[in-house]
Amino acid sequence: MNLFRKKSIDKILASQEESEHGAGLAKHLGVKDLTAFGIAAIIGAGIFSTIGQASADGGPAVIFLFLFTALACSFAAFAYAEFASLIPVSGSAYTYSYVAFGELFAWIIGWALVMEYAIGNVTVAISWSDYFTSLVKNTTPYCVNEWFCLDYFSAQKSYDTVMGMLANNITIDEIRANPAMAKLVEGFDAYAGAPNIFGLRIIMDLPALVINILITALVYRGIKESRNASNLMVIVKIVIVLLVIFVGAFYVNTDNWSPFAPNGVQGLLKGISAVFFAYIGFDAISTTAEECRNPQRDMPRGILYSIIICTILYVAIALVITGMVKYNELAVGDPLAYVFEKIKDISWLSGIIAVSAVVAMASVMLVFQLGQPRIWMSMSRDGLLPPAFAKIHPKFKTPSFSTIFTGILVAVPIFFVDINFVTNICSAGTLFAFCLVCAGVLKLRMNPNAPPSKFKTPFINSKYIMPFLFVLSFVLLYTLGKETFDYYCKWESFSAFKSKIPVYIFIIGFAIFSGMCFKYSFSLIPSLGLVCCFYMLSQLGYENWLYFTIWLIIGLVIYFAYGYRNSKLAQSNFKD
């Protein structure tokens, strides 16, 4: 049983040419379009929502967390750019892993990417629904009924919780008067007021379903139409963000920046997951490689330009909002709108920000909904999925079946999903893919017969630098984060121990990798990308590692039941 059979770059490019002679994808994208797609994917919930909690935890020093995360993503972006230039096909990290590590790892990454794009879009759709319903409520005389903007199980859970509180002699007026109970009350009202048919309460997040259908239809219609819509939405987003920065700068009180890091390093690192969410999406650009006019030149530029532009905007926004109000007021779901509502002279901007948030979420959905079908298309071409997933629409030149299937996969969980659960495992899948792409570049460079790439990450020898960084990290942790150091050195109950397991795995992995860098003289930039992404993965908590492991096990069952037997590499005419 050969689980690590690899597909050569020549075979991949030959397979692509065969497809293009038949029903290939339409080529309409240039560097500006790719950069716009990157910005469309990155600027979403991060800047309109999660930046608030991260700022509340870390204070104004959250800008350093944005810079660190941007740096980590940039290291990974160099790896993506090098692979995208070398292998300009739609498979993204899936195809890159096929070349570097073999079929089994390729399948694992392809399956993990389902979490980032398709499952991740469930979160985006629900977030979009929240912003949309709030916008309707605050700007029109109408409102969306609670039972039409919430999933069934969340509503039922909230109803049961409130009924339990009522049984303990807490009045409904007391519950409604508590701002922290707002979500609980919303769920209670939804379940209590929902129409009842044959004993079943009709509760669904209708706006989330509608936006999913509209985005799926747009992506199905064509890459040119998707590009035009994305470019328009990106222009709207950037104009609004620049307006917020420019206007807000006149209302910054520098006293609010003191203390700059009120909760120290520990408080700052609490926001690492939320800030990472602000950068998820740039890798989706690589899934459109076959629709680029000049992918070897434009793909690396589009990836790196989008990260640079978004980082500048994130840092500026963080400085402005932490300067306009005290950091501890920002733990709200809509921090940008909140800070402008606080200042009467510019409260009119909060409505514009709400509109921009709706546009931003829609653009993120668009890019993710573009990415997932193209991953499945690549896996189908290799025989790991049924042939229907590789079907190209004869008129629209898009992966038609894969696009419709993606829309269904996003729609179904909307009825019952827990948004926090999906958000966390989405991050795990993304970071895992980043780690393997960085490792793939290192492995490919160890092969003296590997073909040259038109874009190559500058080589800096990590032989001594990486071991030095390993030692330095322990020294800094011991001197600047003594409480954290002592916490991980304590041996307590098994319950406390298992929560530390991801960090212990990171430490052991960092030590082993530092030794490999010393032995093999790896390139520094992809090495740093691997270590930084692995570190962020270790901060997601053991529960998310457990859920992600279960997800991978399900994927392996599918692979051995279908993919392994039908792989085209198993056929004699595809063997390298």
- DSSP E strands in 216-368: the ranges are none
pLDDT tens-digit profile of 233-258? Answer: 888 888 888 888 888 888 888 898 98
Residue 178 belongs to what domain range?
152-203
Same domain for 407 and 498, yes or no, is: no
Same domain for 287 and 385, yes or no, is: yes
The set of long-range contacts for 548-557, using a CB threshold of 8 Å and a minimum separation of 24, is: 548/112, 548/115, 548/425, 548/428, 548/429, 548/432, 551/111, 551/112, 551/115, 551/425, 551/429, 552/108, 552/111, 552/112, 555/107, 555/108, 555/111, 555/112, 556/107, 556/108
Same domain for 126 and 28, yes or no, is: yes
Per-residue tokens: 147: 């039972």
Same domain for 359 and 225, yes or no, is: yes
Higher local confidence (pLDDT), 174 or 5:
174
Residues, the chain, total? 576
Task: Please give the average per-residue pLDDT across 18-24, as a whole number.
Answer: 53
pLDDT score of 573: 45
- Tell me if 144 is assigned to some domain: no
DSSP structure string for 391-417: -B-TTT-SBHHHHHHHHHHHHHHHTT-
Q: Which of 110, 107, 108, 24 is nearest to 569 (CA)?
A: 107
Identify the DSSP state of 24. P
The torsion angle over the Cα atoms of residues 554, 508, 113 and 446, rounded to 10 degrees, is -120
Helix (H) or strand (E) holding 142: none
Radius of gyration of the chain (CA): 24
Pairing of strands 200-201, 196-197: antiparallel
Q: How confident is the model at residue 23 (pLDDT cuts 50, 70, 90)?
A: low
- Tell me if 270 is assigned to some domain: yes
Q: Provide the domain count of the chain.
A: 3
Same domain for 49 and 120, yes or no, is: yes
Q: How confident is the model at residue 43 (pLDDT cuts 50, 70, 90)?
A: confident
Contact 170, 188 (CB under 8 A): no
Share of the chain above pLDDT 90, in %: 13
| Residue-averaged pLDDT of the chain | 81
Same domain for 183 and 243, yes or no, is: no
Contact 465, 524 (CB under 8 A): yes
pLDDT score of 2: 67
Please name the residue that has the structure tokens 């794009």.
117
The C-alpha angle 60, 66, 67, rounded to 5 degrees, equals 105
Q: What pTM does this model have?
A: 0.80
Q: Return all residues near 170 (Cβ < 8 A) that are at least 6 apart.
A: none
Same domain for 437 and 492, yes or no, is: no
- Tell me if 457 is assigned to some domain: no
- Tell me if 451 is assigned to some domain: no
Same domain for 268 and 162, yes or no, is: no
Please name the residue that has the structure tokens 């069952």.
557
Contact 339, 319 (CB under 8 A): no
CATH number of the domain enclosing 122: 1.20.1740.10
pLDDT tens-digit profile of 351-395? Answer: 787 788 788 888 888 888 888 888 888 889 888 999 999 898 888
